[in-house]
């Protein structure tokens, strides 16, 4: 049987909107006691139970409101006075929306991509790596993420993008980097960045404009060369630079939404 916490993790990784409800205090007679839990989805459906009846319906309705607001709240329910239940007790329920993991799409599973996977797994990203090279995902470093071994451009058309998707382009060939960048920039995303030297970026920018592949506004929104600027040299150091930029962007988005 699936537990509340495994279900919550499944929801978090899927991006479905829901919240977890935990009975944190009871007084008097109540249908369930402290520690009872359930999950409520944005459409009002329920997984688990905190007692059924009127109180569960009331909690579910309140939870749907809080999911829309995206904020947690401690709520008190008087089972007799407020809900007409014969139990006659009181329940305090903590309701917290389940924040989905941000999707991190990494194009390129080479040394830098592999190092970024290693570090990013510790920072609550749901990671998908794209690379069509044979055997590239045999390395155990990729065990904790989704690996897509298809052609980059076929995979882009099949992948799901939203405004919480972070995109990193670190393929082994400049031409792949640039063509992937053109494709993903017009997909919904929170961030898109391409690795490269300043000369590579200048040449790519000129090509995008000369060939009408991207507008000036679209190019301005791209982080290239990507990463927090410091004297990074090894793949691991470069990966830390890239991850630092992702965290910086994510935290700015979170602060602006709070």
Helical packing angle, 111-120 and 235-257, nearest 10°: 50
Average pLDDT, consecutive stretches of 10 residues, N- to C-terminus, the chain (258 residues)? 81 82 84 85 90 83 89 83 59 86 90 92 88 91 89 91 90 86 91 87 89 88 85 86 91 64
Do 54 and 36 lie in a common domain? yes
- pLDDT value at residue 227: 83
Listed residues 72, 97, 122: the one ending a domain: 97
Residue 82 CB contacts under 8 Å (≥ 6 apart), including other chains: 58
Q: Are residues 110 and 49 part of one domain?
A: no
pLDDT of the residue at 55: 81
118 and 199 co-located in one domain: yes
* Rounded distance between C-alpha atoms, residue 180 and residue 156, angstroms: 8
54 and 109 part of one domain: no
- Where among 63, 97, 131 does a domain terminate? 97
Q: Is 90 helix (H, G, I), strand (E, B) or coil?
A: strand
Question: Where among 70, 97, 124 does a domain terminate?
Answer: 97
Q: Which of 166, 161, 171, 226 is nearest to 193 (CA)?
A: 226
Q: Are residues 144 and 223 in the same domain?
A: yes
Pair 19, 108 in one domain: no
Separation CA 254–CA 189 (nearest Å):
15
Location of structure tokens 């916490």? 5
Cα of 167 vs its chain's centroid, Å: 12
The answer to whether residues 74 and 111 belong to one domain is no
pLDDT at 85: 52
Number of domains within the chain:
2
**Residue 176 belongs to a domain with what CATH number?**
3.40.50.720
Structure confidence at residue 84 (pLDDT):
53
Q: Name the residue range of residue 211's domain.
A: 102-257
**Nearest Cα to 144, choosing from 166, 167, 163, 120?**
120
Q: Are residues 93 and 14 in the same domain?
A: yes
* pLDDT score for 80: 66
């Amino acid at each position: 049987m699936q537990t509340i916490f495994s279900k919550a993790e499944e929801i978090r990784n899927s991006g479905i909107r829901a919240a977890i409800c935990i009975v944190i205090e009871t007084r008097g007679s109540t249908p369930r006691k402290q520690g009872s839990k359930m999950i409520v989805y944005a459409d009002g459906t329920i997984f688990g139970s905190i007692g059924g009846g009127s109180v569960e319906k009331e909690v579910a309705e309140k939870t749907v409101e809080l999911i829309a607001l995206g904020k947690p709240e401690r709520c008190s329910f008087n089972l007799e006075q407020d809900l007409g239940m014969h139990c006659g007790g009181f329940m305090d329920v903590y309701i917290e929306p389940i924040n989905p993991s941000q999707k991190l799409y990494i194009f390129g599973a080479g040394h830098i991509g592999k190092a970024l996977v290693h570090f990013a797994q510790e920072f609550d990203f749901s990671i998908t790596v794209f690379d069509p090279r044979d055997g590239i995902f045999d390395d155990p470093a990729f065990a904790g993420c989704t690996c897509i071994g298809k052609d980059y451009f076929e995979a882009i058309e099949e992948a799901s993008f939203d405004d919480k998707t972070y995109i990193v382009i670190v393929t082994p060939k400049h031409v792949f980097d640039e063509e992937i960048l053109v494709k993903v920039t017009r997909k919904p995303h929170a961030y898109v960045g391409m690795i490269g030297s300043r000369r590579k970026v200048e040449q790519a920018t000129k090509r995008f404009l000369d060939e009408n592949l991207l507008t000036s506004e679209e190019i301005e929104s791209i982080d290239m060369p990507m990463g927090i600027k410091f004297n990074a040299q090894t793949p691991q150091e470069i990966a830390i630079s890239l991850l630092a930029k992702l965290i910086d962007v994510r935290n700015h988005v979170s602060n602006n939404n709070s």
